[in-house]
Amino acid sequence: MTLTKIINKLALVALLGAMTGTGMAADNVGFVYVSPIGDAGWTYQHDLGRLQLEKETGVTTSFVENVAEGPDAERVIREMAKRGDKVIFATSFGFMNYALKVSKTFRKTAFVHATGYKMGKNMGLVNARFYEGRYLTGVIAGEMTQSNVLGYVAAFPIPEVMQGINAFIQGARSVNPKAELRVIWVNSWFDPGKERQAALTLLSQEADVITHHTDSTAVVQAAEDQGKYAFGYHSDMAKYGPTAHLTATTHLWGDYYVKTVKEVQAGTWKPASLWGGYKEGMVALAPLNKAIPAGLQGRIRDMEKQMTAGTLHPFAGPVIDQAGKTIVPAGQNMTDDQLNSMNYYLQGVVSKVPN
């Protein structure tokens, strides 16, 4: 190859590069994940949303998984903003302060943070009312239990987790006033060994329907091994316990991602704090196990419709706490402020809140 040919070739490459680098490229959307995607769990559900977003809007996406909830997050988010990502979704609570900081430098980028409480001029918040699904699984548990003892493996006593526990027992006791719930805290979001141990302990204490608010599939697997029932969380975990898995409270982020990106592209996006649930299509139950009687399945489907319509509230009064104090009187629903500061158990939970 002569020198001129080489130069021509280089020029062509540079030209192509310049073309793809400018307006011709599709918008890119960045995702920051707190854990590896894996094949079930919190991050996996966000990634399903990302794939739906790519399919439905034609944007390109990129993600960084397993980002620690510390200073590294700021660098990852900043890199996405710097290279011109249109929208950046930061999907774990610990990214909040870092995303907010970067958002102040990159005002033209839209930032959305999942689960948190600080907003910015160009940073919105999103979270889902997972407790709506929990209530429905509680109803199923209350009907399916023989021993009237239910079990719950939980990570940390923050309001989001407390909402799940309390919605579960509210649901169970709405159909079975004898139902009681035992909770074991594992002090970790992801520790399959400890989660399994906790599940086995609950099962040995007569619990025959268990669920979890942690990120692995260990609890469902433990129930399958012991021939008991379980509900998955985050994802449909049926394949980890085909017999045990009655259903799961699943998270659906895809529609929200599509809507947000379309708004940003149209220039109509405004940062908001969205706490969506059944109504917004962000929470749903996984397919119901055949073990659930048809009549109960029908009732659950009806309740899902009521939940979507807003006529069924998991914390509709009377809501009574463990000590017998009325938190919400009959005829009222618990407010969002009350939900966000929930740090107590409701009647029916027989464990004690840690600390």
Contacts with another protein by CB under 8 A lie at 30, 36, 62-72, 74-76, 79-80, 93-94, 97, 116-117, 156-159, 187, 340-341, 343, 355
Q: Between residues 80 and 150, which has the closer beta carbon with respect to another protein?
A: 80
CB of 65 to another protein, least distance (A): 5
CB of 338 to another protein, least distance (A): 12
Q: Between residues 27 and 65, which has the closer beta carbon with respect to another protein?
A: 65
Question: Residues for the chain: how many in total?
Answer: 355
The Cα–Cα gap between 211 and 143 comes to 15
CB of 101 to another protein, least distance (A): 9
Q: Between residues 194 and 196, which has the closer beta carbon with respect to another protein?
A: 194
Instruction: Count Cβ neighbours within 10 Å for each residue of 22-53 and write b for 16 or more, e otherwise.
Output: eeeeebbbbbbbbbebbebbbbbbbbbbbebb
The 10 Å Cβ neighbour count of residue 85 is 24
Is 214:190 a contact under the CB 8 Å cutoff? yes
The Cα–Cα gap between 213 and 196 comes to 13
CB of 353 to another protein, least distance (A): 12
Residue in this structure with the two tokens 């610990």, named with its chain if needed: 94
Is 252:233 a contact under the CB 8 Å cutoff? no
Q: Between residues 30 and 171, which has the closer beta carbon with respect to another protein?
A: 30
Q: Between residues 161 and 258, which has the closer beta carbon with respect to another protein?
A: 161
CB of 69 to another protein, least distance (A): 5
The Cα–Cα gap between 167 and 164 comes to 5
SS3 149: strand
219 φ/ψ sector (left φ>0, alpha ψ -120 to 50, else beta): alpha
CB of 100 to another protein, least distance (A): 10
Q: Between residues 27 and 255, which has the closer beta carbon with respect to another protein?
A: 27
Residue 117 tokens read as 């409480």
Q: Between residues 329 and 337, which has the closer beta carbon with respect to another protein?
A: 337
CB of 346 to another protein, least distance (A): 17
Q: Between residues 83 and 239, which has the closer beta carbon with respect to another protein?
A: 83
CB of 106 to another protein, least distance (A): 13
Rg of the chain taking only CA atoms, in angstroms: 23
Residue 334 tokens read as 């618990």
Torsion, Cα 195 196 200 202, to 10 degrees, reads 20
